[in-house]
């Protein structure tokens, strides 16, 4: 196809369509003409894409058709079908695609946390940097447990949710650096390890696990998910495959934005567990079981629905009609 000749022949129709789109009101005849021009322009775009995908022409026609589609059909309004599709298809697909990154972040956290706890507990000089013996005793015997019951449960749950959502947002938003997700995991693992060491020093390690496991199973997993999602964006920049880097970042960024939205709900659930279950008078075994069931529900949801969605070609990205148009690229 001779692109210049094709443009010269069809440009008057495109310009006429653009003029109609610029009018505030259209007569019945003009509306019919606009629909006809929209259909012919869509055909022209398809021909250009298949025969000679010139980026400039594709971009021009894509923009023109988007405007025309909005005029003809009206702006897209979110419907319940979109919400259901997000919950049943897009979100589990996005979670499923970062599952190995999630497990890698969990392994890193456990490695750093256990190492930090062991090193701190077996080296008095390191323990001394965390406070005086009296301060550490007060932390182990009073402050650690009091943290979960000093505030009313609804306020505490909201505070925890806000704090963890901010951590997750930073891990995903700054993931392209490749540094901040790892820094967040390492810093949190060191903090948990040092807290466990202080609790162990005064014989309170059982209390430590009794208080941290009910909510921590899901809460920490959410942090692993966010860090893994952030690193996946970084990897899309490092190794985009046949895509350009900008396209890879755009596609992965949109897909993993679904993860960020989903984590709002996940962290809300873990915040409720931390606010209402952890400080409750329920037996420790029951509280840990509740936390384990919440975590199990997440993985059943992710693996059960996510595997099916990914098998069907879903990535968590928006539908094709809502994404930008792209041109063909060499493989």
Question: What are the pLDDT digits (tens) for 66-90?
Answer: 888 878 776 555 567 778 888 999 9
Residue 109's Cβ-count burial label (10 Å; 0-12, 13-18, 19+) is buried
Cut 0.85: pTM above it: no
Residue 64 clears pLDDT 70, i.e. is over it: yes
- Confidence category of residue 325, pLDDT binned at 50, 70, 90: very low
Alpha carbon separation from 122 to 2, 10, 82 (Å, rounded):
76, 79, 54
Answer with the residue of higher pLDDT: 326 or 152.
152
* Average pLDDT across the chain, whole number: 87
Question: What are the pLDDT digits (tens) for 134-160?
Answer: 999 999 999 999 988 877 878 878 888
Answer with the residue of higher pLDDT: 107 or 163.
107
What is the model's pLDDT at position 331? 43
Phi, psi of 136 (to 5 degrees): -70, -40
Question: What are the pLDDT digits (tens) for 181-224?
Answer: 999 999 999 999 999 999 999 999 999 999 999 999 999 999 99
């Amino acid at each position: 196809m001779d692109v210049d000749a094709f443009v010269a022949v069809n440009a008057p129709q495109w310009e006429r369509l653009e003029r109609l789109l610029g009018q505030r009101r259209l007569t019945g005849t003009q509306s019919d003409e606009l629909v006809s021009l929209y259909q012919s322009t869509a055909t022209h775009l398809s021909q250009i894409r298949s025969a000679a995908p010139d980026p400039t022409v594709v971009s021009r026609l894509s923009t023109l058709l988007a405007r025309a589609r909005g005029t003809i059909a009206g702006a897209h309004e979110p419907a319940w079908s979109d919400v259901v599709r997000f919950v049943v298809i897009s979100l589990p697909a996005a979670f499923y695609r970062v599952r190995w990154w999630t497990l890698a972040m969990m392994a890193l956290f456990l490695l750093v946390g256990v190492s930090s706890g062991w090193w701190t507990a077996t080296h008095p000089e390191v323990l001394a940097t965390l406070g005086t013996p009296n301060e550490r005793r007060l932390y182990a015997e009073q402050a650690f447990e009091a943290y979960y019951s000093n505030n009313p449960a609804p306020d505490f749950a909201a505070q925890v949710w806000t704090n963890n959502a901010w951590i997750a947002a930073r891990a995903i938003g700054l993931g392209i650096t490749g540094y901040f997700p790892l820094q967040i995991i390492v810093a949190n693992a060191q903090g948990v390890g040092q807290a466990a060491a202080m609790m162990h020093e005064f014989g309170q390690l059982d209390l430590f696990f009794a208080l941290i496991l009910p909510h921590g199973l899901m809460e920490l997993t959410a942090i692993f998910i966010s860090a893994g999602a952030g690193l996946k964006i970084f990897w899309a920049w490092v190794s985009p495959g046949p895509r350009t880097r900008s396209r890879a970042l755009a596609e992965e960024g949109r897909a993993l934005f679904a993860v960020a939205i989903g984590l709002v709900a996940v962290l809300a659930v873990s915040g409720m567990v931390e606010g209402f279950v952890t400080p409750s008078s329920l037996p420790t075994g029951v509280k840990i079981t509740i936390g384990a069931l919440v975590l199990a529900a997440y993985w059943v949801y992710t693996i059960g629905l996510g595997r099916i969605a990914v098998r069907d070609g879903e990535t968590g990205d928006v539908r094709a009609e809502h994404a930008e148009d792209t041109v063909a690229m060499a493989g």
